[in-house]
Amino acid sequence: MTYRRESELAAHGFYWEEGLHFPLTKKELTALVAAALEEDDTKHDITTAATVLSDRRARCRLVSRQTGVIAGLALAHEAFEQIDKTVTIRVEHEDGSRIDAKTPVMFLSGHARGLLSAERVALNFVQRLSGIATLTARYVDAIAGTGAHILDTRKMTPGWRRLEKYAVRCGGGLNHRMYLSSSVLIKDNHLAAVDGDIALAVKRARAVGPAGIKIEVECDRLDQVRIAIGAGADVIMLDNMELADLREAVKLVDGRVVTEASGGVTIDTVRPIAETGVNWISVGALTHSAPALDLALDFD
């Protein structure tokens, strides 16, 4: 099922598939890009003003130097358009597209000064988000056929949460909870506050949380998994467990709740983890360690 509005997402817990709907409104998009252009002081681009005639027009193309997945083109489009209202843009490969090296992604025609002044801001947005989408796709490909799903975490760049989660979706991953209010996730530090009593923590969460909210419990031992199942948890996070323990945990759960493997997952370890039978694998690296995709603006 696909939920479109945040109110619907919150009502259905912390896990959803929102699809490739760009997450910002037009007003939000305009404000974010305007702030980025102002930060770069594009109105006072002395290099371009000194070297390029004001009436000079140019054509260029946004090209990928690497194989990857594209994300964030709306931000680039907005950056060029804010500086040059007459710019014309043709998108060859939409967000979520897998592309090879040397592939033109977008063609532009407009005032040379505007294209040059907006270039870096546009690239910064798309390179960052495409890097996340590309890394996500690598993880998704690595577990193909296992039945497991790759999820992100809340390890986001402040202020970029919706954009980075959108980029994860562009790469074929799924989103974990969007906000702290989206679901209950009882982690080790929460358990420490109730002397490790998982049953009590779940009971309190049921009593305080909105009706129907999903409750997840982080477990790093098999005895905790048993207790969490008995307490009525909806999802059990298997934190930093060895493969043998993951397999045993999956057997203990026996399909009664969702299992999520988490903690230190890498591209080399994700396949063996998926083969233990867990439902979800959350990977913080998708957003906190993704390298930018190498993109460039090539002028004719």
Using CA atoms, how far residue 155 sits from 101, 131, 251, 284, 293, in Å, is 29, 15, 30, 6, 19
Q: Among 8, 5, 2, 11, which residue's Cα sits nearest to residue 212?
A: 11
239 is catalytic: yes
Catalytic residue among 187, 221, 251, 256: 187
Q: Which helix (H) or strand (E) holds 149?
A: strand 149-151
* Largest CA-CA distance found in the chain, in angstroms, rounded: 73
Catalytic residue among 59, 120, 203, 206: 120
Helix, strand, or coil (residue 10) = helix
Catalytic residue among 95, 218, 234, 260: 218
- Give the separation between CA 52 and CA 191, rounded to whole angstroms: 63
Catalytic residue among 155, 204, 226, 247: 155
Catalytic residue among 78, 84, 119, 239: 239
- Reading the block at residue 250, the tokens are 């999956």
43 is catalytic: no
CA dihedral sign of residues 151, 212, 188, 180: positive
Characterise 260 by phi-psi region: left (phi > 0), alpha (psi -120 to 50), beta (else). beta
List own/partner pairs for 217-221 with CB under 8 A and 24 or more apart: 217/186, 218/185, 218/186, 218/187, 218/188, 218/191, 218/262, 219/249, 220/188
Helices 243-253 and 222-231, axial angle in degrees (round to 10):
20
27 is catalytic: no
Compute how many other C-beta atoms are within 10 angstroms of the C-beta atom of residue 54. 9
- Give the separation between CA 191 and CA 195, rounded to whole angstroms: 6
Helix, strand, or coil (residue 23) = coil
Tell me which residues are annotated as active site. 120, 155, 187, 218, 239
